[in-house]
């Protein structure tokens, strides 16, 4: 029985693909919520010879008579963690003219040694599932040493020196990446990467997490007409229709999509959306559809000031925390110059959402990008954003935040805001509907 080589298996992209598994099962730099193989059991960035090179070569040689269209480095983990890829590719090319492809999450493409090793591969297919740090951590759950900017820089720098075919896969997950703001962020990243082809995909097999929901025909056809979602996706000079004027999926009609980026034709064949199971699911679990709570209404920017590119994503994370408010605990300690808070959860998904939300709010304060401006307290706080100092430290179950100011009135605003956030954690959506008074400003 082969230990490292499998197939050939039928592939929409690569036709008959002879696969090579170069790392142990679920050894990866990511722990993606949509992964069909389940949760990562060995999250690592260590590159080494995880399986013997000679064994891999022997198994490939024995299977060449199966006449594959591609020999593909892929399998049950991240193949770029294998440290002798260049030697493997050289030895394959000594045996056959069959092109070599690699399916990678792209997390290590900035590594100069890996870039050199992949120079003789014929086709590299990395993935990009988010357009910014917050969603990167929510969807891909990367190794703690990885940042979104680091991964994006690697995807860009590899493109500049790689002369083979470079296809980018964008994996779309409902209520995470299926918003126009998210697609706009991805668009900017794709413009920087400049791949030869962009392929859109969605969940078609049971994912690692039940709340990783596919973009399905059933869901799209039930969207209200004013749902904030993308009808098209443009990369460079090529535009791909995602939905028609009625927001039906483009691939559900008889009109074929041709040229440029391709859409996974199996995207509609995923199981009907089901309620989430287990603890800590976002607000779209449990049967509520359409992204966002019923009270948000149909307004395009209801509940906050917009439109900036991250508004929809930031609001979605905030709503998930309101939904899971009973799983959140907070402590607030007032200081003479501000306030110190600790916000945590025993549920790892909620803890990750807390970290993502705090990172987003820190960005908004630093860049003065207001949100929730209908609330007088938030409006007052963002009006004094330039006078706020914010230090964020991740804990194992959430974050510790220290907010300070040299302005005595801003200190009052910070302390009042901390109390309101504690009310959000205690009461959830009903509290978020309320407006909150600003402290009196005494002369």
> Model confidence over 174-198: pLDDT tens digits?
777 766 677 778 888 888 898 988 8
Q: What's the CA gap between 179 and 193, in Å, rounded?
A: 21
Please tell us whether the domain made up of 5-274 is placed in CATH 3.20.20.70. Answer: yes
Q: Is the pLDDT of residue 221 over 80?
A: no
Cβ-based neighbour number of residue 336 at 10 Å: 7
CA 115 to chain centre: 24
Q: What is the pLDDT of residues 192-205, one digit of tens each?
A: 898 988 887 788 77
High-pLDDT (> 90) share of the chain, %: 45
Region of 329 (left: φ > 0; alpha: ψ -120 to 50; beta: rest) is beta
Q: Distance of CA 223 to CAs 123, 246, 282, 300, 405, Å?
A: 37, 9, 19, 14, 45
Confidence of residue 335 (pLDDT cuts 50, 70, 90): very high
Identify the weakest region by mean pLDDT among 209-223, 358-372, 390-404. 209-223
Task: Indicate the pTM of the whole model.
Answer: 0.55
Query: 56 φ, ψ to 5°?
Result: -60, -45
Name the phi and psi angles at 341, rounded to 5. Answer: -125, 150
DSSP reduced 3-state for 189? helix
**Taking all residues of the chain, what is their mean pLDDT, rounded to a whole number?**
78
Tell me the mean pLDDT in the region 217-228.
Answer: 38
Q: Is 72 helix (H, G, I), strand (E, B) or coil?
A: strand
């Amino acid at each position: 029985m082969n230990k490292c080589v499998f197939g050939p298996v039928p592939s929409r992209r690569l036709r008959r693909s002879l696969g090579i598994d170069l790392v142990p099962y679920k050894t990866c730099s990511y722990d993606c919520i949509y992964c069909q193989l389940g949760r990562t059991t060995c999250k690592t960035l260590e590159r080494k010879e995880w399986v013997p090179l000679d064994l891999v070569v022997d198994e490939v040689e024995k299977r060449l008579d199966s006449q594959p269209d591609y020999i593909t480095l892929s399998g049950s983990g991240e193949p770029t963690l294998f440290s002798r890829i260049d030697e493997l590719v050289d030895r394959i090319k000594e045996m056959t003219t069959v092109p070599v492809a690699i399916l990678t999450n792209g997390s290590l493409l900035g590594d100069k040694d890996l870039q050199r090793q992949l120079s003789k591969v014929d086709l590299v297919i990395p993935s990009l599932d988010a357009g910014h740090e917050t969603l990167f951590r929510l969807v891909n759950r990367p190794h703690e040493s990885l940042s979104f900017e680091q991964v994006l820089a690697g995807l860009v720098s590899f493109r500049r020196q790689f002369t083979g075919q470079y296809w980018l896969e964008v994996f779309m997950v409902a209520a995470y990446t299926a918003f126009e703001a998210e697609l706009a962020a991805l668009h900017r990243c794709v413009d920087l990467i400049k791949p030869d082809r962009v392929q859109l995909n969605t969940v078609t097999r049971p994912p690692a997490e039940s709340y990783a929901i596919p973009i399905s025909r059933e869901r799209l056809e039930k969207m209200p007409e004013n749902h904030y979602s993308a009808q098209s996706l443009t990369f460079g000079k090529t535009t791909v229709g995602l939905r028609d004027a009625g927001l039906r999926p483009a691939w559900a009609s008889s009109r074929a999509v041709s040229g440029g980026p391709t859409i996974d034709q199996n995207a509609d064949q995923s199981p009907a959306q089901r309620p989430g199971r287990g603890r800590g699911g976002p607000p779209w679990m449990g049967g509520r559809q359409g992204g966002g709570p019923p009270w948000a209404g149909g307004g395009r920017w209801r509940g906050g000031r917009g439109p900036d590119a991250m508004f929809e994503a930031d609001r979605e994370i905030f709503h998930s925390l309101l939904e899971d408010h009973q799983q959140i605990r907070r402590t607030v300690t007032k200081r003479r110059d501000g306030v110190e808070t600790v916000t945590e959860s025993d549920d790892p998904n909620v803890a990750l959402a807390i970290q993502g939300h705090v990172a987003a709010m820190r960005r908004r304060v630093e860049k003065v990008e207001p949100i929730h401006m209908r609330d007088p307290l938030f409006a007052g706080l963002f009006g004094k954003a330039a006078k706020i100092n914010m230090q964020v430290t991740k804990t194992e179950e959430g974050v510790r935040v220290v907010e300070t100011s040299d302005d005595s009135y801003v200190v009052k605003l910070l302390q009042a805001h901390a109390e309101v956030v504690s009310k959000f954690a205690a009461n959830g959506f009903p509290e978020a509907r309320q407006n909150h008074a600003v402290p009196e400003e005494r002369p």
